[in-house]
Amino acid sequence: MEEKSNVRDYCFDDGLSEEKLITHRQRMKHDKRFMCMSESWAIRVFEIARRKQSPGPVIVGLILWQKYWMERAKQPLKVTNPMLDRFGIKRPFFAKWLGPLEKAGLIQVERFKHRSPLITIMVSGD
Protein backbone atom coordinates (compact mmCIF):
# COMPACT_ATOMS: atom_id res chain seq x y z
CA MET A 1 0.00 0.00 0.00
CA GLU A 2 1.09 3.49 -0.78
CA GLU A 3 1.43 5.94 2.11
CA LYS A 4 0.44 9.54 1.65
CA SER A 5 3.02 11.96 2.90
CA ASN A 6 2.37 15.45 4.06
CA VAL A 7 4.69 18.03 2.52
CA ARG A 8 4.46 20.19 5.64
CA ASP A 9 6.33 17.47 7.56
CA TYR A 10 9.44 18.30 5.51
CA CYS A 11 9.19 22.09 5.65
CA PHE A 12 10.74 24.33 8.23
CA ASP A 13 8.59 26.91 9.92
CA ASP A 14 10.09 30.25 8.93
CA GLY A 15 7.61 32.20 11.02
CA LEU A 16 5.92 33.80 8.01
CA SER A 17 2.23 33.12 7.81
CA GLU A 18 0.18 33.77 4.69
CA GLU A 19 -1.26 36.88 6.38
CA LYS A 20 2.19 38.30 7.05
CA LEU A 21 3.28 37.68 3.46
CA ILE A 22 0.25 39.51 2.08
CA THR A 23 0.85 42.47 4.40
CA HIS A 24 4.53 42.52 3.45
CA ARG A 25 3.71 42.49 -0.25
CA GLN A 26 1.23 45.33 0.10
CA ARG A 27 3.60 47.77 1.72
CA MET A 28 6.89 47.57 3.48
CA LYS A 29 7.04 50.17 6.26
CA HIS A 30 10.28 51.58 7.59
CA ASP A 31 10.77 53.16 10.96
CA LYS A 32 13.68 55.29 9.71
CA ARG A 33 13.74 58.09 7.15
CA PHE A 34 15.57 57.71 3.87
CA MET A 35 17.38 60.40 1.94
CA CYS A 36 17.35 60.24 -1.81
CA MET A 37 17.61 62.60 -4.75
CA SER A 38 17.27 62.22 -8.49
CA GLU A 39 20.33 60.83 -10.26
CA SER A 40 20.87 63.75 -12.62
CA TRP A 41 20.56 66.21 -9.72
CA ALA A 42 23.01 64.13 -7.64
CA ILE A 43 25.59 64.06 -10.44
CA ARG A 44 25.49 67.84 -10.77
CA VAL A 45 25.72 68.43 -7.01
CA PHE A 46 28.67 66.00 -6.74
CA GLU A 47 30.45 68.00 -9.45
CA ILE A 48 29.97 71.18 -7.40
CA ALA A 49 31.27 69.40 -4.28
CA ARG A 50 34.37 68.21 -6.15
CA ARG A 51 35.02 71.67 -7.55
CA LYS A 52 34.61 73.32 -4.11
CA GLN A 53 36.44 70.43 -2.39
CA SER A 54 33.76 70.22 0.28
CA PRO A 55 30.87 67.87 1.07
CA GLY A 56 28.71 70.92 1.85
CA PRO A 57 26.67 70.96 -1.38
CA VAL A 58 25.89 67.24 -1.04
CA ILE A 59 24.81 67.60 2.59
CA VAL A 60 22.58 70.58 1.82
CA GLY A 61 21.17 68.79 -1.24
CA LEU A 62 20.29 65.69 0.77
CA ILE A 63 18.54 67.80 3.41
CA LEU A 64 16.56 69.63 0.72
CA TRP A 65 15.51 66.38 -0.97
CA GLN A 66 14.49 64.83 2.35
CA LYS A 67 12.30 67.87 3.04
CA TYR A 68 10.95 67.63 -0.53
CA TRP A 69 9.82 64.02 0.00
CA MET A 70 8.54 64.71 3.53
CA GLU A 71 6.35 67.47 2.08
CA ARG A 72 5.16 65.05 -0.64
CA ALA A 73 6.78 67.11 -3.42
CA LYS A 74 5.01 70.31 -2.35
CA GLN A 75 7.13 73.34 -3.13
CA PRO A 76 8.54 75.82 -2.15
CA LEU A 77 10.33 74.35 0.86
CA LYS A 78 11.14 76.07 4.12
CA VAL A 79 14.01 74.47 6.02
CA THR A 80 13.69 75.34 9.70
CA ASN A 81 16.34 75.55 12.43
CA PRO A 82 14.99 72.47 14.28
CA MET A 83 15.40 70.43 11.10
CA LEU A 84 19.00 71.62 10.71
CA ASP A 85 19.64 70.90 14.40
CA ARG A 86 18.71 67.24 13.83
CA PHE A 87 21.65 67.01 11.43
CA GLY A 88 23.97 69.07 13.61
CA ILE A 89 24.17 71.83 11.00
CA LYS A 90 24.13 75.55 11.71
CA ARG A 91 22.18 78.05 9.63
CA PRO A 92 25.33 79.83 8.26
CA PHE A 93 26.69 76.54 6.87
CA PHE A 94 23.37 75.82 5.17
CA ALA A 95 23.07 79.36 3.79
CA LYS A 96 26.66 79.27 2.48
CA TRP A 97 25.90 76.31 0.20
CA LEU A 98 22.55 77.54 -1.10
CA GLY A 99 24.41 80.08 -3.30
CA PRO A 100 26.44 77.55 -5.34
CA LEU A 101 23.39 75.31 -5.77
CA GLU A 102 21.34 78.30 -6.94
CA LYS A 103 24.12 79.45 -9.30
CA ALA A 104 24.22 75.95 -10.85
CA GLY A 105 20.47 76.12 -11.51
CA LEU A 106 19.61 73.27 -9.13
CA ILE A 107 17.44 75.41 -6.85
CA GLN A 108 15.69 78.77 -6.73
CA VAL A 109 15.85 80.72 -3.50
CA GLU A 110 13.50 83.48 -2.40
CA ARG A 111 15.17 85.33 0.48
CA PHE A 112 13.53 87.44 3.19
CA LYS A 113 14.82 89.54 6.07
CA HIS A 114 14.77 87.66 9.38
CA ARG A 115 12.91 84.66 7.93
CA SER A 116 13.84 81.29 6.48
CA PRO A 117 14.20 81.42 2.69
CA LEU A 118 11.73 79.63 0.44
CA ILE A 119 13.59 77.08 -1.67
CA THR A 120 12.32 75.46 -4.86
CA ILE A 121 14.16 72.40 -6.15
CA MET A 122 14.45 72.46 -9.92
CA VAL A 123 13.24 68.96 -10.72
CA SER A 124 14.00 67.86 -14.26
CA GLY A 125 12.15 65.18 -16.16
CA ASP A 126 15.30 62.97 -16.13
36: Cβ–Cβ under 8 A, 6 or more apart, which residues? Answer: 65, 69
CATH code of the region 39-121: 1.10.10
φ, ψ dihedrals at 3, nearest 5°? -90, 140
Inter-residue contact 73 to 106 (CB < 8 Å): no
Q: CA-to-CA distance for 15 and 70, rounded, in angstroms?
A: 33
Residue ranges per structural domain of the chain: 39-121
Q: What is the pLDDT along the chain (126 residues), one digit of tens a residue?
A: 566 666 566 555 555 555 555 555 555 555 666 678 889 999 999 999 999 999 999 999 999 999 999 898 999 999 999 999 999 999 999 999 999 999 999 999 999 998 889 999 998 755
Backbone Cα Rg of the chain = 23
User: What's the pLDDT score for residue 1?
Assistant: 56
User: What's the pLDDT score for residue 124?
Assistant: 74
106 CB-contact burial (10 Å; exposed 0-12 / middle 13-18 / buried 19+) = buried
Q: What share of the chain is helix, strand, coil (3-state, %, to 5)?
A: 50, 10, 40
